[in-house]
Amino acid sequence: MITVLSHNIISPLGSTTEDNFRSVLRQQTAVRQWHGRFGPVGDFCASLFDDGSGATDGPAGLSRLERLALRSIRAALKGTDVDTASDRTLLVLSTTKGNVEWLADGIHPLERALPDSSARMIATALGVTTAPIVVDNACVSGLAALTTAWRLLMMGRYDRAIVCGVEVQSKFIISGFQSLKAVSPLPCRPFDIDRMGLNLGEAAATIVLGRGDDKEHGWKIVDGCQRNDAYHLSAPSKTGLGARMALTQAVGDYPADDIAFISPHGTATLFNDQMESVAIAGAGLGKVPVAGLKGYYGHTMGACGVMETALSMCAVDNGIVPSTMGFAELGVSGRITVAANAAPTSRKGFVKMLSGFGGCNAAMLLSSNKNAADRATADCHEDGPLQAKHNVHITESTVCIDGKVMPTHAVGRQMLTEIYKGVVGDYPRFYKMDLLSRLGFVATELLLRAEGGVRFVERSDRAVVLVGHSGSVLADMNYLSSISDADDYFPSPERFVYTLPNIVTGEIAIRNKYHGETGFYLLADRNDAFVDDILRSAFCDRGTNSVVGGWIECGSETAFEADLSIFERKADGGGRPAATK
């Protein structure tokens, strides 16, 4: 049994979950107009900390994002039994852009702009001795982080997991969303007929999870699920396919009349809210209240999954369905019940949904009903290396398929183009991809050719799980060059999209029509046992029978590596992941 031990939210609306809930109940919003805060970005509406940080304490050398995360984690740990120094305690950080405002700023080394560096700084400050994981899975990162922590606890690897979601805003992020024409000039209006887009926001939130036998006590994650639209990198599926699949599996047989509300992603972009309405109605949950929080906080990206989950737990504890700030008249086609006003509830469960670039969708059902059964896959606990069915290993100058060298002439980027031309040739999207996506694309093409069989058949039982260190740093630099000169400031939407490392998993999903889970994780360095655990954890989703994934690192044009494999669930293992002892 995995339960929630504690939680905290630090936002411009307050420094505890309870403070934040009271502010929401009073209809206070943190979204307001900002003038010239980020130079050429101009005027915009967002939820930002007034003092620019939200946290000033903590050791020297920490970024404002790291101080903010640290403050939230310390508040959440207070009063718990968590021994941060124990080798049974895990730290999972959910962020999309980390310290990107430090990227190539002439002051900080490149390494300090990588999200993994933030995780290590936070871990050190807390005295955490195990290697932290960063989940960098676009806007679903928060739920993906909670799901990963939940699974690793179930697998018996740890006893306690600290999951922190954090995001701060910068010229980089706001200009990017502006270039995608996704930002509303006014406070956002989720699901409303007059909605014009999203507002961005800053926050940190922490949820501490623990293993225990206490079935009577508190909140538990009943199930968490992620599915991909395999449709488009930035636009959600028109049918809401991925979100509906994730939602349907997360809810499962949990009684709908014990679901207090659905906390949607509800960003207030035209397409997101429309898609979610179709997905919720399609899942048969059109009568369950939909209570969106973006009107209070804006879109806090890597923080929102953890923050909105914590706030929803507090709302249910207080017997309240929160109101959807900014909503007045339904402006979506799916027949859903948006909570315009706060209302009392005696129900004990709720669903959190998220959707993000790269086509990913996530849903999680949590409940404080003591009768709720935790759907933990109990037999996810085997040890030993995973056994790959096929493997492809690519570096900047070598290609190996199932241990056999494939001769190539070119090196680096040109080598990937050479393989594309020689082996694929008919997928011109390849040329639009950044180097990380090209690397992942070419590696999976070779891998799937080695596997043989019929390709391009829609399937939702195969996950794509990638683990690396540098993530999207090359794409980040490429986008930065379109905004760094104030006299030549033209933010490029095509370049911005690739600044999310999980886009490569979206490219692979679109190419292969894979609707299964997709995820991108960042570690300090390549640690095969740890990578294996992350890959193995994907099999805890009972809908996943196969995983394509492994290590992918693309921190430079001239030195990169992809070591990807196909893993299958053991046919006779009673639901066990492929593994050897």
Partner 1 sequence: MEELMEELKREIISVLNLEEMTPADIDDDAPLFGQGLGLDSIDALELIVLMEKKYGIRLASASEGKDIFKSIRTMAEYVSKNRKK
For position 492 contacting partner 1 by CB under 8 A, the verdict is: yes
Q: CA–CA separation, 203 vs 54, rounded Å?
A: 8
Task: Give Dmax over CA atoms of the chain in angstroms.
Answer: 68
Distance CA 396, CA 411 (A): 6
Distance CA 542, CA 526 (A): 27
418 binds partner 1 (CB under 8 A): no
Closer to partner 1 at the Cβ: 293 or 508?
508
Looking at 85-93, 281-289, 375-383, 428-436, which segment touches partner 1 (CB under 8 A)? 428-436
Distance CA 469, CA 460 (A): 27
**Residue nearer to partner 1 on the CB measure, 217 or 413:** 413
Burial 540-561 (b: 16+ CB within 10 A, else e): bbebbbbbbbbbbbbbeeeebb
CB of 454 to partner 1, least distance (A): 25
Q: Specify the stretch interacting with partner 1 by CB under 8 A; choose among 60-68, 381-389, 425-433, 534-542.
A: 425-433
Count of residues of this chain found to bind partner 1 when the rule CB under 8 A is applied = 16
Between 178 and 323, CB nearer to partner 1: 178
* Residue 46, H or E segment: strand 44-47
- What is the residue type of 315? A
* Minimum distance of partner 1 from residue 170's CB (angstroms): 20
Interacting residue with partner 1 among 78, 181, 215, 455 (CB under 8 A): 181
Assess 497 for contact with partner 1 (CB under 8 A): yes
Cβ at position 184, least distance to partner 1 in Å: 12
Among residues 370, 432, 458, 580, the one that binds partner 1 under rule CB under 8 A: 432
Residue pair 290/264 in contact (Cβ under 8 Å)? The answer is: yes
**Helices 473-480 and 435-451, axial angle in degrees (round to 10):** 140
DSSP 436-467: HHHHHHHHHHHHHHHH-S--S--BSSEEEEEE
Q: By C-beta, is 211 or 413 nearer to partner 1?
A: 413
User: Toward partner 1, which CB reaches closer, 370 or 429?
Assistant: 429
Please report whether residue 40 would count as binding partner 1 according to CB under 8 A: no
Alpha-carbon span 167 to 300, nearest angstrom: 6
Q: Please report how close the Cβ of residue 232 comes to partner 1 at its closest, in angstroms.
A: 7
Q: How far is the CB of 493 from partner 1 (least distance, A)?
A: 4
Pairing of strands 404-405, 399-401: antiparallel
DSSP 3-state percent helix, strand, coil across the chain (nearest 5): 35, 20, 45
Provide φ and ψ at 501, rounded to 5°.
-65, -25
The correct pick among 344, 403, 407, 428 for binding partner 1 (CB under 8 A) is 428
Q: Which range touches partner 1 (CB under 8 A), out of 8-16, 397-405, 490-498, 527-535?
A: 490-498
**Can you tell me the distance from the alpha carbon of 487 to that of 474, in angstroms, rounded to the nearest whole number?**
23
Question: Cβ 432 to partner 1, closest distance in Å?
Answer: 5
Answer yes or no whether residue 494 interacts with partner 1 by CB under 8 A. Answer: yes
Does residue number 543 form part of the binding site for partner 1 (CB under 8 A)? no
Best CA proximity match to 420, nearest among 390, 397, 446: 446
Considering the complex, state which of residue 427 and residue 456 has its C-beta at the smaller distance from partner 1.
Answer: 427
Q: Which residue has the tokens 């914590």?
A: 310
The 10 Å Cβ neighbour count of residue 571 is 8
- Which of 132, 322, 491, 550 contacts partner 1 by CB under 8 A? 491
C-beta closer to partner 1: residue 404 or 431: 431
Measured from the CB of residue 499, what is the shortest distance to partner 1 in angstroms? 13
Residues whose CB falls within 8 Å of the CB of residue 542, separated by 6 or more in sequence, listed in order: 375, 377, 575
Give the shortest CB-376-to-partner 1 separation in angstroms: 39
Residue listed under structure tokens 């009107």: 295
Q: Contact at 8 Å (CB) between 371 and 358? A: no
DSSP assignment string, 494-511: HHHHTTSTTHHHHHHHHH
558 lies in the site for partner 1, by CB under 8 A: no
Q: Cα-flanking dihedrals φ and ψ of residue 56, to 5°?
A: -120, -10
Q: By CB under 8 A, name the one of 131, 180, 342, 400 that touches partner 1.
A: 180
Q: Based on CB atoms, which residue is closest to partner 1, 493 or 575?
A: 493
294 closest CA partner among 188, 221, 204:
188
The reply on whether position 490 binds partner 1 by CB under 8 A is yes
Please say which residue, 270 or 411, places its beta carbon nearer to partner 1: 270
How far is residue 188's CA from residue 295's CA, in Å, rounded to a whole number?
A: 6
Shortest distance, position 279 Cβ to partner 1, whole Å: 20
Q: Name every residue whose Cβ is closer than 8 Å to that of residue 105 and which is 6 or more positions away in sequence.
A: none
Nearer to partner 1, 78 or 432 (CB): 432
Nearer residue to partner 1 within complex by CB, 171 or 536: 171
Choose, by CB under 8 A, the member of 286, 493, 543, 575 that binds partner 1: 493
Sole window of 22-30, 97-105, 440-448, 486-494 interacting with partner 1 (rule: CB under 8 A): 486-494
3-class SS at 92?
strand
The token pair that represents 562 in the structure block: 């992809």
The amino acid that residue 377 corresponds to is T
Residues 210 and 208: their CA atoms lie apart, in Å, by 7
Site for partner 1 in 230-289 (CB under 8 A): 232-235
Q: Does 427 bind partner 1 (CB under 8 A)?
A: no
Among 431, 452, 457, 581, binds partner 1 (CB under 8 A): 431
Q: Which chain residues interact with partner 1 by CB under 8 A?
A: 179-181, 232-235, 428, 431-432, 490-494, 497
